[in-house]
Structure 1
Amino acid sequence: MTGFRLNVSPLKEPLGFVKLVEWLTAIFAFGSCGGFAGRNIVSIFCGDGGNETLNANFQYPFRLSQVPLVEGNSSICDHPVSTTHLVGDSSSSAEFFVGVAVVCFLYCMAALLLYLGYMHVYKNSDLGPILDFVITAAVVFLWLASSSAWAKGLQNVKHATDTAGIADTVALCQGNNITCQVTEFANLRTLNISVVFGYLNMLVWAGNAWFVYKETRWHSQKVATQPGPGRQQVPAAI
Structure 2
Amino acid sequence: MQSKSRLRHAVFTIALALAPTPAFAIDEALLPRNLSPWGMFVGADIIVKTVMVGLAVASLVTWTVWLAKTIELRRSGALALQRTRALEGNLTLVEASVRAGDAHDAVAQLIQSCAKEAELSGGVLDDGLQERVALRLERVEAAMSRQIARGTGVLATIGATAPFVGLFGTVWGIMNAFIGISESHTTSLAVVAPGIAEALLATALGLVAAIPAVVIYNHLVRGIANYRALLGEASAQLMLLVSRQRDHRDFRLSRAAE
TM-score (norm 1): 0.47
* Structure 1 or 2: more strand by fraction: 1
Point out the structure with max Rg over C-alpha.
2
Higher relative CO (Cα under 8 Å, sequence separation at least 6) belongs to 2
* Structure 1 or 2: more helix by fraction: 2
TM-score (norm 2): 0.44
